[in-house]
Each structure stands twice: as structure tokens, then as C-alpha cells.
Amino acid sequence: MSVMRNKGVFGEDADVFRPERWLGLDPAQRRHMANTAELSFGYGRFGCSGKQVAFIELNKIYVELLRYFDFHLVNPGKPFDFTANAFTQHAKGLWVRVTERKPISQ
């Protein structure tokens, strides 16, 4: 059985794509689901051997984005609504202008 389809953790409809299952949970159930969802790379000696490589690649992407692009808030004084759950973080109303960075002359 796949960890992400465990009916004891995600409910009887665990085989159905239903992202809203994360909404309106009590904190204990949300924590239990989040801890289970973090096992997508596995754990212990049976964990994915490529997990660290995946995280290194993600860090490389972040560095390259910052190297080649400038990021500026469109409305720096305007507050935004930040929401986070086990899988995503979402900032509503946070507009960012991305422009290509000019090369530094050597």
C-alpha cells in the first residue's frame, strides 16, 4: 500500500484526488497527515537515495534564479495574505516584478 493512499490517515476516499481534505482539520489530525505526507522520499534505510540530490538541485535552481534575475515587490507597502498547509505556501496579493539582471562586466 502506498503511504499517500493510507485510508487510516487520509480517510476512506484516500484514492481520490481531493486537496480540500486538508482544510478544516483539527491540529492533531493535520499534524498526523503532514507527518505522513513528508514520507514521500521514504525514511531510514529504505529512504530514497536521491533525496539529497533532489534538494541540492533545488538549491541550485534558487541560486541561478537569483543570479540571473532581479525580484522587486510591486507594492512594497501593501500587506498580503499568507496561507500555508502541508504541501504549499500561498501569498495572495503578493505581486513580484521579475526582470532579467544585466550582466556584470568583467
Residues 41/8, Cβ–Cβ less than 8 Å: no
Q: What are the 10-residue block averages of pLDDT along the chain, 106 residues in total?
A: 74 84 83 74 77 90 94 89 74 90 76
Task: Give the pLDDT confidence of 93-102 residue by residue, as tens digits.
Answer: 889 999 999 8
User: How far apart are alpha carbons 15 and 30 in whole angstroms?
Assistant: 18
pLDDT of amino acid 106: 58
Q: Does the pTM exceed 0.95?
A: no
